Structure 1
């Protein structure tokens, strides 16, 4: 039955049904899942693996009734897939932002033996709970895992202060945990005026536009800019940042890159070309654009 049918049967408005279902999901009474194994065998998923040399890929078909829900569907499927990519003794590094937060919220409640979840970047105020510590702590709770938070700001006011904090014994130990992750979950952000790095104040819109125009900045991984080939675009603020480095994001046993939408194609291509991703989760339209090498600028 659709929502209108349910509303008619119960004698309430459709809006009430929407609210009831939302509350039921929040309380855990109702859970909507997508079976990831089905989407791994999608023809576009196999094409992504072959074209880019990935270990695996997951492609979610569109919802023809609600095409605007592609990110939600992708993050739900990625949340279901993630625990199947983890094993005992793994150290999962978790990035931040809306996509990662949605995955954490969608992940099933399943106990994974001897798993450590690590916050990859320092703290920074972010809207709607997308902060790094929220993303890592939520996933750790879902998987009944040990959580290592990075108890420092992501961006400091000066380089000396950042250096001193990095050398503090407690912080140095946490940064060793960051560097020691063998698996990571991340998204590659966009480079335009509405980007996550602009909204959170890591870089102002004018400076970001300059980096795009003069140095080809194409994406953002854990607050750090990369060009279209995945090479670092080093900015002045990086020496004042505390978090995972781009070098530390490469060479992982598993690196799950998740994204959906035309504006994510260029960043995702940059991350894939740069060797940051071993696994990709996306929607069918984005997969086609990745294979064609086309997407919205920025």
Structure 2
């Protein structure tokens, strides 16, 4: 015999026993009461009080890496629960998905379903309210805010109650089917009043019968003054029209023959009087000379251009508008967002 042991025979390798005997080594880690209360204190300081991991580590006499490990373990085990709560009418997931997909700086999607009551007018009012909230956030002192004309902007006006001191400019004429009086530019005047800044409204139609008439109107003192402000605009709110009755100012202003002609040429959207095909390419350059509105070249130099779009019937038009590359922000509803993400 070469030798014997007291008790059962065993071999030990690197401090750990083989299967022939009881296990020797460090027991599995158990989170004790002290670690639990320390983790809770660290979490409170880090997530609620805004203290850094380095500051917490110094207080508890541990390394910053241990603090990070304890917080991560606590999250994984459910000891800490983080919740992101938004108002029920905002869709955080789709908002961020649109921001990522289209490389946007601003992206806000509000919830809507086919079962929502109130129809298109209610949807437009909700769009206006959300857009007004966004303007309150992003407009800074000395900005020049540009607003197109449209029902969405009219809905935005009454919801706008706070705005930084800025200049407000109307970016296009109005529909010729309504009288060009103070009511159609009320949103521009209201915004300027709230912002305590000058207003530059445009009392003229968006689309004129011919280029000569449009050129004459552009030289009128009030209109010329507004147009001269286009290259100063720093933030713009623009709507999109679809190619159908009641969905586009230009569509409603044209004859049936012209509407059919442009439809055959692939028009599916209208942005500040410019007609676009599904790929976002301008389709009717001949209309440009008849329009009183900011041009795409000027709009492309504006640092922040926000697109407002509501209703499933404008989904394809919204997609075309985003493909122009003019927009770095959007406010829209669930139906449009789902189409864009597909």
Do Structure 1 and Structure 2 share a fold, with TM-score over 0.5? yes
Structure 1 residue 53, shift from structure 2 partner = 0.7
Which residue number in structure 2 is paired with residue 138 of structure 1? 190
Aligned to 1:287: 337
Name the residue aligned to 1:196. Answer: 248
The alignment's TM-score, normalised by the length of structure 1, stands at 0.74
Matches within 5 A, 1:76-87: 76-87=129-140
**Partner-residue secondary structure (3-state), 2:229:** helix
Per the TM alignment, residue 239 of structure 1 is displaced from its structure 2 partner at its CA by 1.3
Q: Partners of 2:308 and 2:92 in 1: how far apart? A: 16
Report what 2:230 is aligned to. 178
SS in 2 for 1:118: strand
CA-CA distance at 1:146 after TM superposition: 1.6
Residue from 149, 156, 181 that aligns with 1:103: 156
Any unmatched runs of 5+ in structure 1?
1-34, 293-298
The match for 1:163 is: 215
Q: What residue number does 1:259 align with?
A: 309
| CA radius of gyration, larger in | 2
Instruction: Pick closer, same or farther for the CA change 1:37–1:127 going to 2, 3 Å.
Output: farther
Does 2:122 align with 1:72?
Answer: no
* Matching residue of 1:22: none
Cα displacement (A) at 1:123 = 4.1
Pick which of 57-66 and 263-272 moved more: 57-66
Q: How many residues are matched?
A: 254
Tell me which residue corresponds to 2:261: 210
User: What root-mean-square deviation, in Å, do the aligned CA atoms of Structure 1 and Structure 2 show?
Assistant: 2.9
**Cα deviations by residue, 1:243-285 (Å, 9 ceiling, x for unpaired):** 2112222242111111111111111111111012111111122
Find the counterpart in structure 1 of residue 168 from structure 2.
Answer: 117
Q: Between the two structures, name the one with larger relative contact order (CA 8 Å, sep ≥ 6).
A: 1
- Give the TM-score of the pair, scaled to structure 2: 0.66
> Is the Cα contact below 8 Å between 1:111 and 1:145 reproduced in 2?
no
Task: Give the secondary-structure state (helix, strand or coil) at the position aligned to 2:240.
Answer: coil
Structure 1 equivalent of residue 15 of structure 2: none
Distance 2:281 2:314 in 1: 17
